[in-house]
Structure 1
Amino acid sequence: MTQKLQALTAALENVLGERIVKQVNARGEITITVSAEDYQTTALVLQEDHELAFEQLIDLCGVDYGAYKDEPWEGLRYCVVLHLLSIRHNWRLRLKVFCADNDFPRIPSVNTIWGAANWFEREAFDMYGIIFEGHEDLRRILTDYGFIGHPMRKDFPVTGHVEMRYDPEQKRVIYQPVSIETREITPRIIREDNYGGLH
């Protein structure tokens, strides 16, 4: 472990202490997991504490651990993962938090802490159905307003439910059940007679 990672590990343990449920140092990166109850407070400390100073949110995304690595997953299903950057100290951190309820996944919004979380939280809501409590404008961002379900969930049908298209006769957008025929595509290989200098 480099001196910078050692300094970050010490600072995390000093400032956050028992709020850290799990800490992993792997491949030159530090990942900490906190509980949903401590998530918003931890985020605020990570941003405001001068010893850590994670001023910038690089990314926030949802993860569905259902059938993780095609094996049964023991534990909570939905997770939110943040990638943070401290410009002052030039170090990075991955922060993970699992939603306490698999049937209705929800955690507090960190949009008031890092403004960049706004659209990232909307995307995680749209794709995974994770509710970010306190978000001022939590609505779909990638799918259509009438879309049913959350397409990045492991139990979402691969072909979806309905397809949307413009009907020139009705002069409007219509929805109809998806009709996809499965087919096997076999590549056609053509070789010249003297291909590669072989006779």
Structure 2
Amino acid sequence: MTVAAAIHPEALRDAVAAALGDKVASIGVVLGEVTLTVSSANYVDAMRTLRDAPACRFEQLIDLCGMDYSAYRDTVWVGSRYCVVSQLLSVSLNQRLRVKVFCDDDDFPVVASVSDLWNSAGWYEREAFDLYGIVFDGHADLRRILTDYGFIGHPFRKDFPLSGHVEMRYDEELRRVVYQPVSIEPRDVTPRIIREDNYGGLH
């Protein structure tokens, strides 16, 4: 089996832009990687085209995650808060693509599921739902996958408290697991700064 030579990022950018046409919200090359942004309205159609178009042929979705941009780089973020980021791989053409889609509603983030296009999206989308609260419309089994079924909130959101909302413990008298409000006092942790002169000149 021969492996196709990797396509130049600028050539891939142009091929993807040509295949998607007006479905492209933005596309560019950063640090040698092509990143495409599409609107939520065009998301599924764009992803299907990326899978099937001869110049794209992204047969595999190798990762999908959520993002919360509300405190991005410690600056004021302008735009939608929640984003879904997918990493696509074309084995046959030896090329990779990052795809971003922003949720239209910050209070109830929803995007379409692509689990019908790539089976691998099923668990990834459940993880993004669990950790960020992003709902994937059309997903056949959208349940929490990492946290407990009784877990409150979504722990990767930037406004989720470090100590959480509830704690779980085993009650000897009731002989079962119980949930109760967090009893840990919140505290600020300031990292200790280690300076070069503390090493006594050792290099």
Does the residue aligned with 1:164 lie in a helix, a strand or coil? strand
Could you tell me which residue of structure 2 aligns to residue 99 of structure 1?
A: 103
Q: For residue 144 of structure 2, what is the amino acid of its counterpart?
A: R
Q: How does 1:117-156 map to 2 (within 5 A)?
A: 117-156=121-160
CA shift for structure 1 position 24: 2.1
Aligned CA RMSD, in angstroms, stands at: 2.1
Q: 2:190, 2:65 → 1: CA distance?
A: 34
Indicate conservation of the 8 Å contact 2:104/2:110, yes or no.
Answer: yes
What is the TM-score with the length of structure 2 in the denominator?
0.87
Distance 1:41 1:145, change over 3 A: same
Which structure has the greater CA radius of gyration? 1
Q: Is 2:73 the counterpart of 1:74? A: no
Could you tell me which residue of structure 2 aligns to residue 22 of structure 1?
A: 26
Q: 2:109, 2:191 → 1: CA distance?
A: 42
Unmatched 5+ stretches in structure 2? 1-5, 193-198
Unmatched 5+ stretches in structure 1? 188-194
Q: 1:143, 1:4 → 2: CA distance?
A: 41
CA shift for structure 1 position 156: 1.1
Q: Is 2:166 the counterpart of 1:162? A: yes
What is the TM-score with the length of structure 1 in the denominator?
0.89
4+ residue runs over 3 A deviation? 181-187
Does the residue aligned with 2:150 lie in a helix, a strand or coil? coil
Aligned match for 1:83, one of 80, 87, 97: 87
Does the residue aligned with 2:13 lie in a helix, a strand or coil? helix
Q: 2:143, 2:93 → 1: CA distance?
A: 35
Q: 1:175, 1:154 → 2: CA distance?
A: 23
CA shift for structure 1 position 164: 0.8
CA shift for structure 1 position 3: 5.5
Indicate conservation of the 8 Å contact 2:10/2:29, yes or no.
Answer: no
Q: 1:69, 1:10 → 2: CA distance?
A: 29
